[in-house]
Amino acid sequence: MKSMLYAAGTIAALLISWGANAQDRYVEPPPVLVSPDLSAPWVMQLRSAPVRARQHRDAQADVQAREYRTYRQAQGTAARAPAASDYRAGRRAMPAPQPADPQPVAYNASPSDRSWSMSDPKWLPQVVEYGGPHAPGTIVVDTKQRFLFLVLEGGKAQRYGVGVGKEGFGWTGTEKISQKREWPDWRPPAEMIAREKAKGRVLPAHMKGGPANPLGARALYLGSTLYRIHGTNAPWTIGRAVSSGCIRMRNEDVTDLYNRVPVGTKVVVI
């Protein structure tokens, strides 16, 4: 009898242990807390691809929320400051469009388009060796490699990933920064409006500056041309040839560059 009770107790213990292990197997692991700083490339390597994509979207939402709050403060508008959850849920609290302006045209990109470039740390800002002929303080844009270099002292350069002109819209030359603007308004040229209209897309004649604006947080105007080095509302396009000739940067990066260079800075596009 004692042996039977002992055997039954042993079996019960094994079943309880097995049940606990089986439950542990299917328990969701605790969430990984990560910094929303997009300049931390290790963030993208923590979990499986779907989880990385979600974490990237959440991090981008945090950046957008911060940018919007900064924009509203600069405008002196006492509107409710949106939370990052508003952006994650698709409730993007952008500035209301003016009645006379058409609705802004968004960049249509698939989820894979939206994440491919931002997952590669080479597009993030970093100091690199520089052996070119240009003096410190010069901006050099390499349109083939899709990098912008701010030449520093001591054979170094601050390098940023950029988006460049698509096929047929690329250019090369030397200009100087003629003016700088924070949260610039966008007035697409008539040629662009006509070109996009032929494709079935209606561009506004004017769009106020803000997080929804294609020029992003900052713009550096190049001479008397229509070209600019500017931010973007589509950061997943960095590293691609997608623009009409302008050099686009992440908003964080163009803000950093904006603070480093004065009007009159030489810009060489190769």
Beta carbons of 117 and 243 less than 8 angstroms apart: no
Strands 241-243 and 139-142, how do they pair? unpaired
β-sheet bridge partners, residue 158: 127, 150
> Is 246 tagged catalytic?
yes
**Residue whose pair of structure tokens reads 């947080």 in the numeric block:** 217
| 230 is annotated as an active-site residue | yes
> What is the number of other CB atoms lying within 10 angstroms of the CB of residue 149?
21
Q: What residue type is 48 in one-letter code?
A: S
Locate 17 and state its tokens: 């242990």
Q: For residue 262, what are its two tokens?
A: 């004065």
Catalytic residue among 56, 134, 206, 230: 230
Which tokens go with 43? 């963030």
Catalytic annotation, residues: 230, 246
